[in-house]
Structure 1
Amino acid sequence: MEPLTAAILCIAIMLIMLNLGLPIAYSVGFSSAIVGLLTYGTAALEKLGWTTFQTVFNPAWTPLPLFAFMGCLVAKTRMGEDLFRAARLWFSRLPGALVVSTIFAQAGIAATLGASAAAILAIG
């Protein structure tokens, strides 16, 4: 199967599944698996399984629950609100004070948590 035909078929299957009400992740994954199976045969399913296994059992994922836990602690203790309030008081006279305050509060949370993704979880 030509790459352009495979891409059009994959997008068409994905859009049909989305219109049926399936979640985006399932629609993308299922349509990719179907088109991969049609294009490359069973080797695509072997590659899909092996790649999933390597990704899930990668040791780099080990600290992720701890970052999320720290983000939950910051959210429950309202530390993010306190940091934003302090930054807002410091920068209220500057033009664009809301943006500057948000950036500084986000930087403070990211410095506390050690990961910007966890800071996004904590502040929202």
Structure 2
Amino acid sequence: MFAGVQIAFAMLLTAAIFGLIMFGDVTAYQLLTKIEETASNSILAAVPLFIFMGAMLEKSGIAERLFHAIHLWTKRLPG
């Protein structure tokens, strides 16, 4: 991370290096299997769509109006 590498790649590189030291050649198979398993998870496909939706709501001003409406409805509730 101090070299300016993104956090995900820094963690991946650290895990790969220590895996090679501790477990040897089987680390490459385990690493590739875990990457393929995570990439094929269909639930994780929703994460970028939620981020995109939030960005669109913010840029269009709808989010601010929604927060204002919710505040009007819930201003008497504590918390």
Q: TM-score by structure 2 length?
A: 0.70
Cα shift at 1:58 = 2.1
Answer yes or no: is 1:55 the counterpart of 2:38: yes
Pairs aligned (count): 79
Q: Pick closer, same or farther for the CA change 1:91–1:62 going to 2, 3 Å.
A: closer
* CA distance in structure 2 between the partners assigned to 1:21 and 1:64 by the alignment: 25
**Structure 1 counterpart of 2:44, one-letter code:** W
Distance 1:63 1:90, change over 3 A: closer
Q: 1:54 Cα deviation (Å)?
A: 1.4
- Secondary structure (helix, strand or coil) at the match of 2:67 reads helix
Q: RMSD over aligned Cα, in angstroms?
A: 2.5
Q: Which runs of 5+ in 1 are unaligned?
A: 1-17, 97-124
1:34 maps to amino acid: I
Aligned residue among 74, 84, 89 for 2:67: 84
Q: Which amino acid aligns with 2:55?
A: C
Residue of structure 1 in register with 2:29 after alignment: 46
Alignment-mate amino acid for residue 22 of structure 1: V
Question: Relative to structure 1, is the Cα distance of residues 28 and 62 closer, same or farther in structure 2, using a 3 angstrom cutoff?
Answer: closer
TM-score norm. by structure 1 comes to 0.50
Residue 19 of structure 2: aligned partner: 36
Deviates more, 1:81-90 or 1:65-74: 65-74
Deviations along 1:85-116, whole A, 9 cap, x unmatched? 123334445665xxxxxxxxxxxxxxxxxxxx
Task: Give ranges in structure 2 of 5+ residues lacking alignment.
Answer: none
Within the candidate set 57, 67, 70, 2:53 is matched to 70
Distance 1:24 1:74, change over 3 A: same
